[in-house]
Structure 1
């Protein structure tokens, strides 16, 4: 009897292989269908409650969303264009400023070049001015360091003129000097050579005549050889000293060397340069 009762049970109450009854299966299927419909209704366009318009179709919804996206990207594009224009203007301004700086740098470089040229020229100009200020002076080299000489340099110079070029005195030339002094002013005990004597003549023509005679022959003071040259700046004198060896060799060979202003060596042979 018990077996019959079990056999008489409805088929839909039997369990499937997974252990679920048919009623449960059909109930779950119905529930899933309802959930899908609810989700579709939730996502579907809702009609306006204010004006009672019918719900939007799918095409209308896509069209509206497309317009919104276009408006959104147009707004973003305008913002990007404004930023790009601003950056472009800043870049153009920087380029202009850079070009202006380059031009200013070129001008400054040219000014610096002129300043360098002037700086190179200034020492020569100063030396030339110093030499011109000394053009009335004669430098006497080799005059002994004796008190009777150093204390009476003006008289000693007159004696040198009388001994070596008396024709100047005979012609009534003015051989007076404004001043005469030793240079340097302080005697260096370590040096054995006497200091030079600088004499400034009142008449520059007299100075030139004495200088011309000194170029022709060796001057002496009471039989002692001395040299009489143009008084020049120390830098010019150093340039003259650079010619000393050639100058002496030329004289030994019977030539006539002359160092002209400022420091140019000219050698004459049989009255030809």
Structure 2
């Protein structure tokens, strides 16, 4: 292996480590998409999140209230073609709370805030999101062949074939 190949390999390893570090920092975050701008001025982002949880998942409110470490609107990424509100980022203190909320959101399928449909998503690094986006064509083909594909963390693919689950690493080629 020559010096150029070693440098490329080291660069790839460093980029992967950086992506994993960012994902680790964001592992307790929930990203809320679709809440109209200006709502947080009246109530604050934490109150909006609590209203979303109480209104959509009344059963999760029976346990201890989810502790919010930080809540904020993300800054604008200027894109004149999209006129969507900025996302809200909620940093929770416990990963189990995040997983419980996201699981309830997936089961409910339609989460709303004041009648407006919104999305609750896990927050990943830009690199992980890009890798997951690149998998969508593959997922659609696999769904068409009834292989029951699933996207695993961070950007791994799993599918059922002849009753067995087959994990697969996604590589960039």
Fold shared per TM-score above 0.5: yes
TM-score by length of 2: 0.74
Q: CA-atom RMSD, angstroms?
A: 3.3
- Alignment partners' CA distance in 2, 1:236 and 1:249: 21
Match of residue 122 from structure 1: 14
Aligned partner (choices 98, 101, 113) of residue 207 of structure 1: 98
Aligned partner (choices 163, 183, 197) of residue 88 of structure 2: 197
Greater Rg by CA: 1
- Alignment partners' CA distance in 1, 2:60 and 2:106: 15
- Alignment partners' CA distance in 1, 2:46 and 2:142: 34
Match of residue 126 from structure 2: 234
Match of residue 222 from structure 1: 114
Deviations 1:100-141 (A, max 9, x none): xxxxxxxxx655543331111111110001000111111112
Match of residue 170 from structure 2: none
Change (3 A) 1:225 1:126: same
Q: Which has the larger share of helix?
A: 1
- Alignment partners' CA distance in 1, 2:78 and 2:41: 15
Q: Which has the larger share of strand?
A: 2
Deviations 1:162-207 (A, max 9, x none): 12222221122x3121111122x13637231222211101222111
Aligned partner (choices 52, 62, 75) of residue 160 of structure 1: 52
Aligned partner (choices 152, 172, 177) of residue 68 of structure 2: 177
Change (3 A) 1:220 1:249: farther
Structure 1: segments with no counterpart, 5+ residues: 1-108
Larger relative contact order (CA 8 Å, sep ≥ 6): 2
Structure 2: segments with no counterpart, 5+ residues: 166-173
- The within-5 A match list for 1:39-78 is none
